[in-house]
Amino acid sequence: MNKSELIDQIALEAEISKAAAGRALDAAISAVKQALKKGDSVTLVGFGTFNVGKRAARTGRNPRTGAAIKIKSAKIPKFRPGKALKDALN
């Protein structure tokens, strides 16, 4: 499912226009991004939790030359599914 298909599904389920569903989805994604950027986690009960993880600095290899390179540490988004989501899939 891509974004436009998700918007169509939201509009159908919520009985709102596709434009309103698109704005709602964009607002929700923006709110999650802003919370993660501040270092907060976002918990949607029954769905899951979005949080920020840290990836340590490490040494990698340039595939073209084989030379060792240093890769900086980074913050990465993580998602942990909730019990209701796991149960819905099994």
Sign of CA dihedral 52, 43, 22, 87: positive
Residue 63 confidence (pLDDT) = 93
Residue 83 confidence (pLDDT) = 94
Mean pLDDT per 10-residue interval, the chain, length 90 residues:
96 96 96 96 96 96 94 96 94
Residue 53 confidence (pLDDT) = 96
Residue 6 confidence (pLDDT) = 96
What CATH number belongs to 41-90? 4.10.520.10
- Is residue 39 within 8 Å of residue 24, measured between CB atoms? no
Give the chain's length: 90
Sheet arrangement for strand 42-44? 42-44, 48-55, 74-81
